[in-house]
Amino acid sequence: MEYACEIIGLVKRFGPKTAVDQLSFQVPSGMLYGFLGVNGAGKTTTLRMISGLIRPDAGRVLVTGIDAVAEPQRAKQPLAYIPDDPVLYGKLNPMEHLEFVSALWGVDPVTARKRAQELLERLNLWDRRHEWIESYSRGMKQKIALASALIHEPKLILLDEPLTGLDASAARLVKDILLGFLKQGGSVILTTHILEVAERLAERIGIMSGGRLIAEGTMDQLRSRSGQAAGSLEDIFLQLINEARGQVLL
Binding to another protein by residue 69, rule CB under 8 A? Answer: no
Of 237, 226, 224, the C-alpha closest to 197 is 237
Binding region for another protein (CB under 8 A) out of 24-32, 87-95, 166-174, 230-238: 87-95
Q: Which residue from 87, 110, 230, 250 is in contact with another protein, where contact means CB under 8 A? A: 87
CA distances for 194 relative to 71, 234, 237, angstroms: 34, 9, 12
Smallest distance from another protein to CB 226, Å: 32
Told to check if 86 binds another protein by CB under 8 A, we report: yes
Q: Indicate the residue type of 55.
A: R
Q: Based on CB atoms, which residue is closest to another protein, 89 or 231?
A: 89
- The interface with another protein within residues 99-158 (CB under 8 A) comprises 100-101, 103-107, 132, 148, 152-153
User: What's the CA angle centered on 213, arms 44 and 15, to 5 degrees?
Assistant: 55
Sole binder of another protein in the list 46, 51, 142, 192 (CB under 8 A): 51
Strand partners, 23: 10
> Could you tell me the CA-to-CA distances from 10 to 38, 90, 233 in Å, in that order?
19, 35, 26
Interaction of residue 91 with another protein, rule CB under 8 A:
yes
User: Which of the ranges 46-54, 168-176, 184-192, 202-210 carries the binding residues for another protein, by CB under 8 A?
Assistant: 46-54
Q: Is 25 in the site for another protein (CB under 8 A)?
A: no
Determine the Cα–Cα distance for residues 50 and 63; give it in Å rounded to an integer: 8
Does residue number 179 form part of the binding site for another protein (CB under 8 A)? no
Residue 11, amino acid: V
Per CB under 8 A, 77 contacts another protein:
yes
User: Rounded to an integer, what distance in angstroms lies between the CA atom of residue 126 and that of residue 111?
Assistant: 17
Please choose, from the candidates 206, 231, 238, the residue with its C-alpha nearest in 3D space to the C-alpha of residue 47: 206
Using rule CB under 8 A, residue 90 touches another protein: yes
Instruction: Give the footprint of another protein on this chain (CB under 8 A).
Output: 14-15, 51-55, 72-74, 76-81, 83, 86-87, 89-92, 100-101, 103-107, 132, 148, 152-153
